[in-house]
Structure 1
Amino acid sequence: MSLADLRKDYKQASLSENEVADDPVTQFTRWFEQATQANVPEPNAMSLATAASDGRPSSRIVLIKGVDERGFCWFTDYDSKKGNDIATNPQAALLFHWVELERQVRIEGRVEKLSGQESDAYFHSRPLGSRQSASASAQSQPIENRTALEAKLADVVARYADQPPRPDHWGGYRLVPDRLEFWQGRSSRLHDRIVYTRNADNTWSLSRLQP
């Protein structure tokens, strides 16, 4: 079968501007809970898209670790590719794709660092192995081979045992959204697209987009 012949007709659900929540974070939470209840694999996985100072984009999958009225949070190495992009261009986009529910959520906005206290709290809640790996790895930087990486991990274990501190180069970010789009697949590609746009007074405007 050719790639051009790969297609699926979406028929599971619909989405109306009359049934969504007034607040987009409430609507996101509703859909996220439905994805979890439907046993979608890793419903917390999202694509994070950033752009360097020259405009060159890049994206990768990260895991959301918190959401509330302030925004959407994740944790990573500040010196990674995405961290360097955010430092020079603090705008980003998130994408959740819940294939089993024929849904996508697109989120755009500015990015800010979480406080040291918030990063500490999450870091110390992580499994020991994940904390040790964060201390050992200079994310996105070249290394000679796997053996060298494992040697760095062994050094962290030898120095800190089961109490590795949060590295200065590791912590959290929050995307403060100004635009969220909820996409529900529909038959014959006549999809439902409902978008929320933040106003200057921090209220939200709601509109439907053509598919």
Structure 2
Amino acid sequence: MNIADLRKSYEKAELSESASRADPLQQFDQWLNEAIHSEVPEPNAMTLATVGADLRPSTRVVLIKGYDARGIVWYTNYQSRKGQQLAGNPYAALQFHWAELERVVRIEGLVEKVGAEESDAYFQSRPLDSRIGAWASPQSEVIDSRAVLVSNAARYGAQFLLQPPRPPHWGGYRLVPDRWEFWQGRKSRLHDRLRYTRQAEGNWLRERLAP
């Protein structure tokens, strides 16, 4: 099969101005909950895009761990490639793709670290193996083999037993949105795209974009 011949007609839903929420966070909450209740695979998975000092963009998939009026939260190693890129350029973009619902949500904004208390609380809620793993993995660094990770995990497991503290190099980030876009697939490639842009006074401007 020629990959250029792959086609799909998007016909499951529509996104109109009258049916959408005036606040993008409320629209996101609605769509995320619909994705969860529809049991799409990993509805909490989102692509995170950052840009390094060399101006080369990079992406990876992370998991949303919280959201409210302050922004979108995830947790990771601060010394990883994404952490280093965010330290140099704190602007980033997120994307959710719920293929089964023919929907995409794009979010852009400034990224900040969450407070230590919030990071501590989430870290303690993780399974023990995941907490040990945060110590064992020098994320994004070159290692000789998987044996390095296994050895590190054994060492930190013996050191911390059942109470590993949060590593100082591990914690949360929060993206504070200033732009949202909601994409709903439609027939004949005439997709619905609604963009929300934060205004100086704090409210949101909602506009329809051509597909």
Which residue in the other structure is 1:2 paired with?
A: 2
Q: Equivalences for 1:77-88 in 2 at 5 Å? A: 77-88=77-88
Q: Equivalences for 1:47-58 in 2 at 5 Å? A: 47-58=47-58
Q: Equivalences for 1:43-82 in 2 at 5 Å? A: 43-82=43-82
Which residue in the other structure is 1:152 paired with?
A: 152
The answer for unaligned runs of 5 or more in structure 2 is none
SS at match of 1:124: helix
SS at match of 2:120: helix
Give the letter aligned to residue 21 of structure 1: R
Which residue in the other structure is 1:136 paired with?
A: 136
Give the letter aligned to residue 27 of structure 2: Q
CA distance in 2, matches of 1:149, 1:28: 37
SS at match of 2:208: strand
Q: Report the alpha carbon displacement of residue 166 of structure 1 after superposing the two structures with TM.
A: 0.3
SS at match of 2:53: coil
CA distance in 2, matches of 1:18, 1:127: 43
CA distance in 2, matches of 1:157, 1:148: 14
Give the letter aligned to residue 28 of structure 2: F
Which residue in the other structure is 2:109 paired with?
A: 109
The answer for unaligned runs of 5 or more in structure 1 is none
Q: Equivalences for 1:152-191 in 2 at 5 Å? A: 152-191=152-191
Give the letter aligned to residue 29 of structure 2: T
SS at match of 1:85: helix
CA distance in 2, matches of 1:68, 1:125: 19
Which residue in the other structure is 1:31 paired with?
A: 31
CA distance in 2, matches of 1:196, 1:37: 25
SS at match of 2:4: helix
CA distance in 1, matches of 2:55, 2:77: 21
CA distance in 1, matches of 2:14, 2:146: 48
Segment drifting more, 69-78 vs 136-145 = 136-145
CA distance in 1, matches of 2:4, 2:136: 44
Displaced runs of 4+ in structure 1, greater than 4 A? none
Q: Report the alpha carbon displacement of residue 142 of structure 1 after superposing the two structures with TM.
A: 1.0
Q: TM-score, normalised by structure 1?
A: 0.99
SS at match of 2:18: coil
CA distance in 2, matches of 1:52, 1:202: 29
Q: TM-score, normalised by structure 2?
A: 0.99
Which residue in the other structure is 1:41 paired with?
A: 41
The number of equivalent residue pairs is 211
Segment drifting more, 172-181 vs 145-154 = 145-154
Q: Report the alpha carbon displacement of residue 136 of structure 1 after superposing the two structures with TM.
A: 1.2
Q: Report the aligned-residue RMSD.
A: 0.5
Which residue in the other structure is 1:98 paired with?
A: 98
Sequence identity of aligned pairs in percent?
59
Q: Report the alpha carbon displacement of residue 22 of structure 1 after superposing the two structures with TM.
A: 1.0
TM-superposition CA deviations, 1:144-195 (whole Å, max 9, x none) = 1111211011000110011111000000000000000000000010000001
Q: Report the alpha carbon displacement of residue 134 of structure 1 after superposing the two structures with TM.
A: 0.3
CA distance in 2, matches of 1:36, 1:137: 30
SS at match of 2:125: coil
SS at match of 1:54: coil
CA distance in 2, matches of 1:92, 1:4: 31
